[in-house]
A and B are shown apart, each in its own frame.
Chain A
Amino acid sequence: MNEQVIEIDNLSVRYGRNVAVENVTLNVGRGMVYALLGRNGAGKSSLIRCLLGQRKADGGQLRLFGDDAWRRRAALMQRVGVVSEEADAPPEMSVGALARFCRSLYARWDQQAFEARMRTFGIPLTSRFGALSKGQKKQVSLALALAMSPDLIVLDDPTLGLDVVARKSLFEEVIGELADRGITLFVTTHDLGGVETFADRVGILQRGRLVLDEDADALKSRFRRIRFAAKPMALEAGGLAATAMRSWGSGAEAIVSNYDDIAFERFRNNSGVNAADVAPMTLEEIFVAVAGENAGGN
């Protein structure tokens, strides 16, 4: 995991006066699964466009496999598979024609793997791309991205439009398998439950700023929901930082972002609190706590 596949340094993207991405810095190592989370308009798509060399950053640097993503886009795309948010393949092309087109562009094209995945997804090669359902288009795009034997796959909200079964298949079978094979994954998604099990690192974009960039396990270990039966205590006295505090029944609920057992025990001993329920949080709960219900995009 030493080699950096993605290096983003102080990246900024602007549309006129609007700032879409502001001074974002993050790194993704080889074999890592990075989940970039953010509400609509948070700047995820702008960042992905820069990552794929489709848009020049207004500030900062973005390197893929050590090369400038903007200048060396065409060469880098030999190693990068892309599943974009909106299906962008020409609608009049058949699935087979799409594969033939891609085969002539990629050096490491695996036609058998592509056809096998199409059989798995139940999509005939003769189907016109434009006639496929939204989920099927995503599956074809994913199969195309995987058939070129990529070193990095960029998935821009890959489960958008997929039904529950397809979503489960995508995350558990395909992405899980890729992660096991050491292929680097960069995923933006709203399906936080899906990525929770295999994301190595999580980043949260809020109003264009990367407000969180951390190992998934460490993140989940330091966030806790603490419910108090009575009036909430001053958590700061115990060295705990409350990200959010709200009433809960007759008591209160606090989200703590730097939880550890020793600190909490010390706090409980000092404050004399007896009835406190401590629960771990899901990635989705952490995202809501960090991004906030009203802290949306631009």
Chain B
Amino acid sequence: MKHAFVIARRELGEKRFVMLAAAAFAVLPFLLATIPGIRGRNGSGDVIATGATLLAIGFTIGLALVLGGTVIGRDLAESRLSFYFSRPVGAASIWFGKVAAAIALIAGVFAIITVPARIAAAEAWRHSWGMNTPGLALAVIGIAVVLFFVAHVIGSFVRSRSGWIGLDFAALCLSALAAYYILRPLFESGATVAFSVLGIAIGCGVAVALIGGGAWQLERGRTDRRRSHAALSQFLWAVIAVTLALTGAFVAWMLAAKPDDLKTVSAEAQGRGPWVLVSGDARGRMDYRPVFAYNSETGAHSRLPTRVRRAMFTRDGASMLLARFDNRTKTVELYRRPVAVDAEVSTGLTIGPYSDFNANDDGSRIVSADHRGVLTVYDVPQKRSLVSARLPENAGHVIAMYFASPALVRLYAVNRDASKTLRIFDLDVTRRSLQQTGEFARNAKFLAVTAGGDGSRLLVRDPQNLYVLDGRTAALQQTIPGPGLRGSTFLRDGGTAVLKDAGDHSTIEVRDAGGALVRTLDLPVKNTWSLRELSDGRFITEAQGDRRQTFILDPASGAIVQQIPAQPVSSRSIGWAGYDPRREPAELPKLFFDAQRLLRWDYTTNKAEVLLPKG
């Protein structure tokens, strides 16, 4: 320590002329301010503040590069290091003494140039830099110190005139590539905290390599130029390799999370059958949230790739469509895979980042609609586009679409004007034609659409009413007054059921196919939302009280026959994948989620079994 201080003092003494040069530079902004015509908005103060800042940054960075490039390299090349090595000082003292002197010089020249301007032009300085002068100084000096170490490495390598430099270049490329591949999955999966933490960890490893490398270089290489280079290379790349190996192993461990590792669970979507998409916070993984296709019966699972932001089960439940965002091209590539298999295959279809998509029942055909209204139907096995068309200019944007048959896509578009118009289009793949089949206009802020299971009729809702329309022509069939409307559904007998809020309780209005009110059921539950008819004819609704609850109701009396303290997993897709408006009578749900848990409800015992998280 004492010897490092002695060497630092000697190095500072040797380079004291740098301080004098900095003092000369400190005067320059004041001289500039005296030149007529050079004025800022706040007079000469601006010239002094800006001039001093720019000069300080330039001088400090330039000095750091020169000092770094010569701190060891020049002494080695000129055989002057033996002066130190023939004295009773350790290699670490030599290195850290020189480094301390360099950092003191870097900080010193920055202060010498900026402090007079900071004092003389305080107002202009505050105007330019706010009160964050220490932040500015820290940033500039920090960057300069990093550049000092980098310049030292480059200087040592170049001056050694050794063939090692080729290996260094290869190691640099490999390290950069490794860091990119280690951090990319975290960036792509949106795990910003994990990305930052591991990025900082790699940065710390590089800093240790750069700072410790000089000491190791002198300890192992001493006065020999080539051995010095070899020692620096070995330390530098070994430390960086270990850092990358450790962070890489940690990232691999993070990405290898299993459903058992989840500590909180969000059930995102469910296909037909036992498969469900779950995500959540995994133990020790910071903010990385893996997404799994999880078989609720067997526990089998497969992890979705990190780049998947949107996913959907196909209607037959056998496969999934995954949307992978490519940050380089800013496009989304669609992949398809069987739900249980960990290998997705590209469909070959690339769409825009804001495009919507949907698939036919088995996923063999995909329709996409971009934000400009361009529609494309794509055949997956043939990997080719079957038809493309563009919606009329005034049609607005697609809010829902589905394959009415493998050769016919039905689309619902709503314009962006204050007064909304729902337009229905048929895109015929065989005839390669796009035809508007219906139109329904309302002076309303929004129009929301659901359809019956076969798509032949629509339930369209605006803030005031609920409308029953023909699913193809949009011809108005019924208008149901809708204040307090919370949910609606078609019934198997052709009628409708409408869920309404009635203050301290809810009601369900049941109507026949002609729209006549058949009965009104009172539910002793408030804050209800969503209404579906089960395949056995009972109703299912959800309510938000202290917690979300699900109620199964007797359709004749409205009596609650089952109360489940959780919410069913009902969506077929996550992350803004294609919206299919068709609502078939639902199977009695078995999977629920509540309080960040995935549950299986046993209707015979009225108890929930927690599937995830484990333990």
A-side interface residues toward B, CB under 8 Å?
49, 52-56, 73-78, 80, 82, 84, 86, 88-90, 92-93, 97, 101-102, 104-106
**In the complex, which of the residues B87, B91, B223 has the most CB atoms of chain A within 10 Å of its own CB atom?**
B87
Q: Residue B80 at the A interface, CB < 8 A?
A: yes
Q: Residue B492 at the A interface, CB < 8 A?
A: no
**Stretch of B6-14, B266-274, B546-554 that contacts chain A:** B6-14
Contact A74 B79 (CB under 8 A): no
Contact A97 B88 (CB under 8 A): no
Query: Residue-by-residue, is B67-104 near A (CB-CB < 8 Å gives 1, otherwise 0)?
Result: 00000000000011111011111110100000000000
Shortest CB–CB separation between residue A210 and chain B, in angstroms?
Answer: 22
Known: A55-B224, A106-B88. A88 touches B82 (CB 8 A): yes
A106 to B86, CA, bound (A): 12
Contact A82 B14 (CB under 8 A): no
A176 to B384, CA, bound (A): 98
How many residues on the B side are at the interface (Cβ–Cβ under 8 A)?
24
Shortest CB–CB separation between residue B240 and chain A, in angstroms?
Answer: 24
Shortest CB–CB separation between residue B259 and chain A, in angstroms?
Answer: 55
Q: Residue B572 at the A interface, CB < 8 A?
A: no
Shortest CB–CB separation between residue B219 and chain A, in angstroms?
Answer: 10
A105 and chain B: residue at smallest CB distance: B87
Q: Residue B423 at the A interface, CB < 8 A?
A: no
Shortest CB–CB separation between residue A164 and chain B, in angstroms?
Answer: 28
10 interchain pairs, CB-CB under 8 A: A49-B223, A52-B85, A56-B227, A75-B88, A77-B86, A84-B86, A88-B86, A93-B14, A102-B87, A104-B6
A97 to B13, CA, bound (A): 10
Shortest CB–CB separation between residue B163 and chain A, in angstroms?
Answer: 10
Residues of A within 8 A of B85 (CB): 52-54, 73
Contact A54 B13 (CB under 8 A): no
Task: Tell me which residues from 3 to 24 in chain B have a Cβ below 8 Å from any Cβ of chain A.
Answer: 3, 6, 10, 13-14
Q: Residue B309 at the A interface, CB < 8 A?
A: no
B224 and chain A: residue at smallest CB distance: A55
A73 to B219, CA, bound (A): 10
A250 to B474, CA, bound (A): 135
Other-chain residue from B3, B13, B222, B227 in contact with A105 (beta carbon distance below 8 A):
B3
A82 to B88, CA, bound (A): 11
A53 to B91, CA, bound (A): 11
A52 to B88, CA, bound (A): 11
A100 to B530, CA, bound (A): 88
Main secondary structure of the interface of A (DSSP, over half): loop
A78 and chain B: residue at smallest CB distance: B88
A78 to B13, CA, bound (A): 24
A232 to B224, CA, bound (A): 51
Contact A55 B83 (CB under 8 A): no
Contact A55 B222 (CB under 8 A): yes
Shortest CB–CB separation between residue B310 and chain A, in angstroms?
Answer: 60
Residues of B within 8 A of A93 (CB): 10, 13-14
Contact B87 A89 (CB under 8 A): no
A101 to B84, CA, bound (A): 11
Contact B89 A105 (CB under 8 A): yes
A88 to B81, CA, bound (A): 8
Contact A92 B82 (CB under 8 A): no
Known: A92-B14, A105-B3. A74 touches B223 (CB 8 A): no
Residues of B within 8 A of A84 (CB): 82, 86
A286 to B224, CA, bound (A): 34
**In the complex, which of the residues B3, B85, B220, B227 has the most CB atoms of chain A within 10 Å of its own CB atom?**
B85
Query: Residue-by-residue, is B197-238 near A (CB-CB < 8 Å gives 1, otherwise 0)?
Result: 000000000000000000000001011100100000000000
A101 to B13, CA, bound (A): 11
Known: A90-B80, A97-B13. A105 touches B88 (CB 8 A): yes
Known: A49-B223, A74-B90, A77-B88. A105 touches B83 (CB 8 A): no
A256 to B227, CA, bound (A): 44
Residues of A within 8 A of B87 (CB): 77, 102, 105-106
Other-chain residue from B14, B91, B227 in contact with A90 (beta carbon distance below 8 A):
B14
Other-chain residue from A55, A82, A86, A101 in contact with B6 (beta carbon distance below 8 A):
A101
